Structure 1
Amino acid sequence: MQRIEELTEVGDRYFDGLADKFSRSLYQAPRGELRLAMLDYLLPQMLDLSQQPVLDVGGGLGQQAAWFAQRGHDVTLTEPSADMLNYAQAWHAESTELPPESITYVQAPLQRLNCELTGPWSLITCHAVLEWLGDPRAAMASLAALLAPGGQLSLMVFNRDALRFSNAMKGNLEKVLSDRLEGQGRRQRLTPISPVTHRQVVQWSADNHLTIEAVAGIRVFQDYLFHPPANEAERETLLTLEKQYCRQDPHWRLGRYLLYTLTKPETSE
């Protein structure tokens, strides 16, 4: 059995040895299906899309890169895990819906992208990455440096406040009271090591002269249901409910993920 890597020297979590688990647990399960459905619904609303090149940072199994490529964008998918990158390449190669050579693959962590790639980029996506890094605040600065003046950053983070609330609902009251919410990055556990709050995103955006143009919650209700949808009709009803409230205050604040559109001023200060 392949050894599963844990934390790197700088405290980041890569996912060598976990590609199949990710595919099974996150994307072939109702929560993953809903996450992708909500991104399909929200991204055209929250981004100005004009078939511009896309830098997909920490692109994982390649779902988001495929979404953009199918819509006419040339995509550079970066991912530090060789296993995840190989999985994405193999899946994309089998797809009949992707334009040939529309996706370029780069094995590199976020922290090295300024050295590995020629930028800046007018559109960057970084979905579910910061929460797996030892220093998400520094990662935000790296993303801002990669972004072109006037460019858009689509950022999605695992919501620490939602994690706190769900733990309270499960009865983990001592854990919540002591705010011990982070995962340890060990073995096959998939609790993020650095869950992020909205307050942090607001502060880090300001620190890097980025403007929050839009925000939405992903999986606002699903993770709190006592009884998951039992059939297709109930799943469709849940999706309709998620779409209705994902951008309404206060509901978006308890989404399991928070999705942002950040922009960089035309003239950087």
Structure 2
Amino acid sequence: MSDSASPLSPVGDRHFDGLAEKFAASLYGGARGELRLALLDRLLPEMLDLREQPLLDVGAGLGQLAGWFARRGHAVTLTEPSAEMLARARQHLEGQDLRFLQAPLQDLPELAPGPWPLVACHAVLEWLADPRSALAMLAGLLAPGGQLSLMVFNRDALRLSNVVKGNLEKALADRLEGKGLRKRLTPISPLTHGQVEAWSAENGLVIHEVAGIRVFSDYLRRPPESEADRERLLALERRYCRVDPHWRLGRYLLYTLERPIHPPEEATP
């Protein structure tokens, strides 16, 4: 595929038209995808105050997360810029009552302004050219007291993964980002915890919870072969995903961010 056929949008974001099959196989088709979903199934009720609030799912991909919330009584608006991914989400969620909207994150302040009591944005910011501005837009969609469930691809984990694989020169040079060309699925903007902390503070968001998703599994020399070993790995991930320092090396970092009802400058003494 030539650069002119790159799946980058006009503003430099990575979309997935023409790549939905590879996306599904790489991110959800194997044991790592199953582990990610199993951990989210456990962590989301622990990390969020869920009361069947309306939910905006930003960059919803194949719709797994939207379906999870819909099955638990939330009125879900699913947004996705890729027509191909949106079609797969519709198929995956057939029979469930959701609203579907084809739109990039940058259009949501106009098309789905809310304010929303609950927003989910999982594994999206790392595919954007300007994740800092994107987080500011997400913050603007939240109602006072609203929660943002944010999951990002961890740059520090990507560095460690490259070292484990023997890519020492690449790690030393800090050449970790993907280019968004051809069919490779290395994110173009992997993020650090420090960036999420700083950008959240810039936008008046408070980090209430944080966890690592897959803090051990991506560093194994070989994947577990037996069902018993897969269960042991899941038990380890569940035990340590919120324990420092282990959560910091999760392949993904999962946050609960909240827009305070009263911003600090308005709080009464």
- Normalising by the smaller structure, the TM-score range is over 0.9
Counterpart residue identity of residue 76, structure 2:
V
User: Is the aligned partner of 1:146 residue 2:141?
Assistant: yes
**RMSD of aligned alpha carbons:** 1.4
Counterpart residue identity of residue 43, structure 1:
L
Structure 1 residue 205, shift from structure 2 partner? 0.4
- 2:162 pairs, out of 140, 163, 167, with 167
- Paired with 1:26 and 1:157, the residues of 2 have a C-alpha distance of 14
Structure 1 residue 4, shift from structure 2 partner? 6.5
Q: Please name the residue that 1:91 is paired with.
A: 92
Are the equivalent residues in 1 in contact too, given 2:157–2:250 (CA < 8 A)? yes
- Paired with 1:202 and 1:115, the residues of 2 have a C-alpha distance of 26
Matches within 5 A, 1:145-224: 145-224=140-219
Are the equivalent residues in 2 in contact too, given 1:5–1:17 (CA < 8 A)? no
Question: Per-residue CA shift, 1:172-220, capped at 9, x if unaligned?
Answer: 1111111000001111100000000000000000000100000000000
SS for the counterpart of 2:177 is: coil
- Paired with 1:155 and 1:4, the residues of 2 have a C-alpha distance of 30
- Paired with 2:52 and 2:93, the residues of 1 have a C-alpha distance of 19
Are the equivalent residues in 2 in contact too, given 1:111–1:142 (CA < 8 A)? yes
The sequence identity of aligned pairs, in percent, is: 67
Counterpart residue identity of residue 259, structure 1:
L
Q: Please name the residue that 1:38 is paired with.
A: 39
- 2:259 pairs, out of 225, 245, 264, with 264
Structure 1 residue 251, shift from structure 2 partner? 0.2
Q: Please name the residue that 1:234 is paired with.
A: 229
Structure 1 residue 117, shift from structure 2 partner? 1.4
Q: Please name the residue that 1:105 is paired with.
A: 100
Q: Please name the residue that 1:24 is paired with.
A: 25
Instruction: Give the unaligned 5+ runs of structure 1.
Output: none
- Paired with 1:118 and 1:250, the residues of 2 have a C-alpha distance of 37
Structure 1 residue 118, shift from structure 2 partner? 3.9
SS for the counterpart of 1:161 is: helix
- Paired with 1:194 and 1:166, the residues of 2 have a C-alpha distance of 16
SS for the counterpart of 1:34 is: helix
Counterpart residue identity of residue 127, structure 2:
W
The list of structure 1 runs, each at least 4 consecutive aligned residues, that deviate by more than 6 angstroms after superposition, is: none
Structure 1 residue 267, shift from structure 2 partner? 2.5
Structure 1 residue 54, shift from structure 2 partner? 0.4
Q: Please name the residue that 1:57 is paired with.
A: 58
- Paired with 1:118 and 1:151, the residues of 2 have a C-alpha distance of 13
Are the equivalent residues in 1 in contact too, given 2:152–2:191 (CA < 8 A)? yes
- Paired with 1:254 and 1:133, the residues of 2 have a C-alpha distance of 22
Are the equivalent residues in 1 in contact too, given 2:126–2:191 (CA < 8 A)? yes
SS for the counterpart of 1:77 is: strand
Moved more, 248-257 or 15-24: 15-24
Are the equivalent residues in 1 in contact too, given 2:60–2:121 (CA < 8 A)? yes
- Paired with 1:264 and 1:86, the residues of 2 have a C-alpha distance of 32
TM-score normalised by structure 1 residue count: 0.95
Q: Please name the residue that 2:67 is paired with.
A: 66
Counterpart residue identity of residue 100, structure 2:
Y
Are the equivalent residues in 2 in contact too, given 1:5–1:15 (CA < 8 A)? no
Q: Please name the residue that 2:238 is paired with.
A: 243
SS for the counterpart of 1:145 is: helix
Counterpart residue identity of residue 229, structure 2:
E
Structure 1 residue 91, shift from structure 2 partner? 1.5
- Paired with 1:105 and 1:184, the residues of 2 have a C-alpha distance of 29
Question: Per-residue CA shift, 1:57-101, capped at 9, x if unaligned?
Answer: 0000000000000001110000000000000001111x6xx4xx2
- Paired with 2:5 and 2:60, the residues of 1 have a C-alpha distance of 19
Are the equivalent residues in 2 in contact too, given 1:16–1:84 (CA < 8 A)? yes
